[in-house]
Amino acid sequence: MTARALGLALVLVLVGCHRATTTQRTTTGNVQRGTASWYGEAQMTASGERFDPRAMTAAHRTLPLGTRVRVTNTRNGRSVIVRINDRGPYSKGRVIDLSRAAAAQLGMIDAGLAPVTIEVLHP
């Protein structure tokens, strides 16, 4: 996917949740800010693979499946790299749903939600 198409995908995210997020262009890619949540139920993902709460994966509304992103918890500075393999979140005001393993690395299990930045690394 081209950088232009990836930029368009992030613009579409902003249109859907303009109050919950902001996006800025950086030298390494697009950065989105908003609220992350996590989920741990066993299910099939939009990519067709079985959800594994121990994997470093996430759900995003519009980023292409397979895209790798760096998610940083802005409260504590912890970061994790995840692969987008599902669609969501479907709760208003949230920009990404993380697997339990990714949420644990970010230190957000108990809170359930965290303010994050999402930087696209690889489409």
Condensed to tens digits (0 to 9), the pLDDT of residues 15-36 reads 343 334 444 444 345 899 999 9
What span, in angstroms and rounded, lies between the C-alpha atoms of 113 and 97?
9
Is the dihedral angle over the CA atoms 89, 20, 79, 66 positive or is it negative? positive
- 9: containing domain: 3-122
What span, in angstroms and rounded, lies between the C-alpha atoms of 81 and 105?
10
Number of domain units in the chain: 1
Find the CATH number of the domain harbouring 96. Answer: 2.40.40.10
Condensed to tens digits (0 to 9), the pLDDT of residues 51-90 reads 999 999 999 999 999 999 999 999 999 999 999 999 999 8
Contacts (Cβ under 8 Å, ≥6 apart) of 2: none
pTM value is: 0.75
pLDDT at 4 over 70: no
